[in-house]
């Protein structure tokens, strides 16, 4: 079965975290995608043994990430509001040409960029 993919630059690689008595492992890797005026930051989760695959990644690497979506329903009790969560589980990745040499040199968005968006009168927020 073929999985959907996303292409982007590695923005963040967290350390592997363990949860619960059975030691469930999870590691977050965030890809950055330039999308016109706005930048998308897409979190991917490496689970269990796949956490070790992320050791081969570095911030600034350009990658194609294969993933599968999983959704969860959560409700504290029968009287509480039902919430739904979506996560992208990384299946595998492929490094691409043209990785950034120094990812920390990227300039963050300025206040002017935010003002420019607000002044356009465009009610279509990017989130």
Q: What is the pLDDT of residues 96-114, one digit of tens each?
A: 987 654 433 333 333 333 3
**CA 113 – CA 104 distance, rounded (Å):** 20
Residue 71 corresponds to which tokens in the numbers above? 């959704």
Q: Is 127 exposed, middle or buried (0-12, 13-18, 19+ CB in 10 A)?
A: exposed
End-to-end CA distance of the chain: 31
SS (H, E, C) 57-71: CCCCCEEEEEEEEEE
Q: What is the mean pLDDT of residues 21-37?
A: 94
Q: What is the pLDDT of residue 109?
A: 38
Q: What is the pLDDT of residues 44-84, one digit of tens each?
A: 999 999 999 999 999 999 999 999 999 999 999 999 999 99
CB 93 within 8 A of CB 61: no
* Of 8-17, 29-38, 83-92, 93-102, the least confident: 93-102
CB 9 within 8 A of CB 60: yes
Q: What is the pLDDT of residue 3?
A: 92
Q: What is the mean pLDDT of residues 115-121?
A: 42
Tell if the pTM clears 0.75, that is, is over it: no
**CA 74 – CA 72 distance, rounded (Å):** 6
Q: What is the pLDDT of residue 97?
A: 84
């Amino acid at each position: 079965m073929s999985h959907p993919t996303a292409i982007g630059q590695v923005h963040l690689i967290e350390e592997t975290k363990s949860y619960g008595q059975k030691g469930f492992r999870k590691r977050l890797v965030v890809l950055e995608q330039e999308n016109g005026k706005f930048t998308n930051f897409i979190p991917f989760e490496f689970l269990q043994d796949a956490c070790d695959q992320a050791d081969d990644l570095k911030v600034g690497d350009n990658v194609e990430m294969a993933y599968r979506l999983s959704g969860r329903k959560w409700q504290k009790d029968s009287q509480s509001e039902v919430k739904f969560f979506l996560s992208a589980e990384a299946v595998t990745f492929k490094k691409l040409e043209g990785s950034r040499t120094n990812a920390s040199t990227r300039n963050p968005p300025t206040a002017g960029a935010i003002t420019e968006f607000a002044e356009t009168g465009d009610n279509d927020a990017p989130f």
